[in-house]
Amino acid sequence: MAEPRIAVVGGGLAGLMAAIRVAEKGGKVLLFSVVPVKRSHSVCAQGGINGAVNTKGEGDSVYQHFDDTVYGGDFLGDQPPIKAMTANAPRIIYLLDRMGVMFNRTPEGLLDFRRFGGTLHHRTAFAGATTGQQLLYALDEQVRRFEAEGKVEKFESWEYLSSVIDDQGVSRGIVAQNLATMEVKAFPCDATILATGGPGRIFGKSTNSMICTGYAAASLYKQGASYANGEFIQIHPTAIPGEDKLRLMSESARGEGGRVWVPKKKGDTRAPRQIPEGERWYFLEEKYPKYGNLVPRDIASREIHSVCYKHEMGIGGGAKVYLDLTHKPREVLDKKLGGILEIYEKFVGVDPREEPMQIFPAVHYSMGGLWVGYETKADGEMDMAHPRTHMTSIPGVYAAGEVDYLYHGANRLGANSLVSCIFSGDVAGPAAVAWAKGLAKGAESVDKAVFDREVSRMQAEVDAVAARKGGENPFKIVDELGYLMLSECTIVRTNDGLKKARAKLDDLQARADKATVPDSGKTANQSLRFAHQLPYLVQLAKVMVDGALARNESRGAHYKPEFEKRDDENWMKTTMANYDAKSNAPSLSWVPVDARFIKPRPRTYGAGGS
């Protein structure tokens, strides 16, 4: 066989890292991205990347990072992959440093580290408050170097539509669509790595970029891949409410000393700085004296939600609380948080150095995603070189980054996403090359009919969408989908609400299947593209709601007041969803969590001194 050809779908941190590793291993990379890779959603990550480097001499260790991540994920995460990720995190940070990431420095010129949620250590390396952007640019530059050498070929403004699967059930490449010319075409490849990010668009407005629709994952799920832990959606506690999107206000704002509070007097109309210290309710610091404002995201979001809705103590009676940095010196803020404070100032028109910010939780990240396997060695450690590690349930298709489910259990710790994205690409790239090298025959010798068949299927699907008449506008339907999912499937979930939502999803599915494209254009037809994706998004929403409905316990981001406690006996299990064509809905099963290293313990974060 000639050099292995690997399709990498997605140009964020996971995809670019995978591309670099494939190129290093001698494979040829076909890199697909809906936007120029430099514009991928990884740019939105702000606060930093975790790795136990212990620069501050606090006794931090790789094991402590591992334990914090497992505990933070409420013991739903499979432990060998988390152990491997945390062990490799310092190496990854050093690699990024060598690539030229402009990480903030200590007076000695070493990498500086800041505090983040869910840990008591300074473990987060950062480049101002645009760390994701800076990491993405570093990987983008390395990929450009390989591109100049001919080892990477980019297909930007191409959208993954589906995988080409042969009669033995093995993936032989992908079908993609050119978003300018709308051409649908097959690309034979020996392995595929999906690094397509999260599904924020299903919730209407979130902190995600507009390109984060979840379509690619939903498409592979419909082709037979298992989707794991779909019900675990992270709600970030601090976002800026907006008309078009909910912009993230990084956890680093709290890591650098930001304090969350509301006035003690209900409906207090005074300007925030007129309210004396003694008349402010610092509810997180009060309830969690040990972690304070840096409790994990699921807990902070629930507390803010409860202050606003249960206690009706939100600012002016509304759904907002203060995030206050005004006690910090301006020059410190500019140096460490400049990027995010500018975003607030630019979009809200208020200087957060002078006046406390007004924030509220927003959908941020999916812990769930495409199921991927991993192999372990005799000592129980993950076998990073094994071709089945990071492979989805479809042979030859890998998943890496937010689109996989592997590293965060029931709740992701802040600044663990950048490290999981890069680490998963670092593992999936070589695994895909190993798989390709072990194939008896490469994609180039597979019968052309296998590819033609999949192109015809997708072309017919797209043509059918374009030909519909008399249905609704797809962008109106997705607003309804988002509103439904936000109200019933986020911070507080009830079985009644979930059942109603599930019935409504059947209605939305029927309407999405009939949505009409109001655009007659032959070029860059964005409405056609979205109308084609929409039914898939509803399919994924069903996975999330069904998973949440079944899970009668509270764990991490999944909170049901009717089942307030974590139930390890019945629910220390990964939810597996598989598409069932007959019911046009997911069929669910559960597999035990691999907790071979750390025994589960109650997750309290020292609430009330416990």
Partner 1 sequence: MSSEPIKIRIKRQSDAKSPASWVDFQIPYRPSMNIISCLMEIQKNPVDAAGKPVDPVSWDCSCLEEVCGACTMVINGRVRQSCSALVDNIRKENPGQPISLEPMTKFPVVRDLCVDRSRMFESLKKVKAWVPIDGTHDLGPGQRMNEAEREESYHLSTCMTCGCCVESCPNYNEDSKFIGPAAISQVVLFNSHPTGKLNAGERLDAIMGEGGITDCGNAQNCVNVCPKSIPLTTSIAKASRATTTRMFSKIFDT
Place of tokens 């490449």: 173
607 binds partner 1 (CB under 8 A): no
**Least distance in angstroms from the C-beta of 368 to partner 1:** 23
What residues from 194 to 223 belong to the interface with partner 1 (CB under 8 A)?
209-211
Q: Could you tell me whether strands 233-240 and 227-228 are parallel, antiparallel, or unpaired per DSSP bridges? A: unpaired
What is d(CA 52, CA 60) in angstroms, rounded to the nearest whole number?
Answer: 6
Rounded-to-5 percentages of helix, strand, coil across the chain: 40, 20, 40
Contacts of 343 (CB under 8 A, 6+ apart): 240, 247, 249
Q: Which of 10, 22, 26, 41 is nearest to 155 (CA)?
A: 10
Cβ atoms of 228 and 239 closer than 8 Å: no
- Determine, following the binding rule CB under 8 A, whether residue 103 of this chain makes contact with partner 1: yes
Give the footprint of partner 1 on residues 532-591 (CB under 8 A): none
Residues 322 to 381: which contact partner 1 by CB under 8 A? 335, 339, 343, 346-347, 349
Bridge partners of 31, per DSSP, are 8, 154
Query: What gap in Å lies between CA 319 and CA 540, rounded to an integer?
Result: 28
- Token pair 């049901």 is at which residue? 560
Nearest residue to 81 via CA among 358, 440, 307, 380: 380
Asked if 80 contacts 383 with a C-beta cutoff of 8 angstroms, the reply is no
64, 79, 142, 358: which one binds partner 1 (CB under 8 A): 142
Single out the residue of 11, 19, 41, 439 in contact with partner 1 (rule: CB under 8 A).
41
Identity of the residue, 170 or 246, whose beta carbon is nearer to partner 1 in the bound complex = 246
Please state the closest distance from residue 285 (CB atom) to partner 1, in A.
Answer: 29
CB of 18 to partner 1, least distance (A): 11
Alpha carbons 479 and 501: distance in angstroms, whole number: 14
Number of residues binding to partner 1, judged by CB under 8 A: 72
Site string for partner 1, 44-63 (x = CB under 8 A): x-------------------
183 contacts partner 1 (rule: CB under 8 A): no
Q: Is 114 a catalytic residue?
A: no
Q: Which of 74, 147, 251, 402 binds partner 1 (CB under 8 A)?
A: 147
* Member of 16, 30, 38, 508 binding partner 1 (CB under 8 A): 38
At closest approach, how far in Å is the CB of 90 from partner 1? 9
Catalytic residue (choose from 254, 259, 297, 302): 297
Shortest reach from residue 390's CB to partner 1, in Å: 16
Residues 6-25 that bind partner 1 (CB under 8 A): 20-21, 24
The pair phi, psi for residue 428, each rounded to 5°, is -65, -35
- Give the SS3 label for residue 61: coil
Both tokens assigned to 279: 């008349």
Question: Which ranges in 551-596 belong to alpha helices (H)?
Answer: 568-571
Contact range with partner 1 by CB under 8 A, out of 494-502, 520-528, 544-552, 572-580: 520-528
Binding partner 1 (rule: CB under 8 A), the pick from 234, 420, 525, 554 is 525
C-beta of 352: minimal distance to partner 1 in Å? 15
Kindly state whether residue 385 participates in binding partner 1, applying the rule CB under 8 A: no
DSSP string, 133-147: HHHHHHHHHHHHHHH
If binding is defined by CB under 8 A, does position 466 make contact with partner 1?
Answer: no
In order, the DSSP letters of 407-420 are: S-TTSPPTTHHHHH
Residues in 273-332 that interact with partner 1 by CB under 8 A: none
Q: Does 521 bind partner 1 (CB under 8 A)?
A: yes
Choose which of 108, 167, 277, 564 interacts with partner 1 (CB under 8 A). 108
Find the binder of partner 1 among 167, 168, 243, 271 (CB under 8 A): 243
* 433 in contact with partner 1 (CB under 8 A): no
Residue of 82, 202, 248, 515 that binds partner 1 (CB under 8 A): 248
For the bound state, the minimum distance from the C-beta of residue 320 to partner 1, rounded and expressed in Å, comes to 14
What is the residue-wise DSSP string for 150-183? TSEEEEETEEEEEEEE-TTS-EEEEEEEETTT--
26 binds partner 1 (CB under 8 A): no
Bridge partner list, 9: 32, 194
Residues with active-site annotation = 297
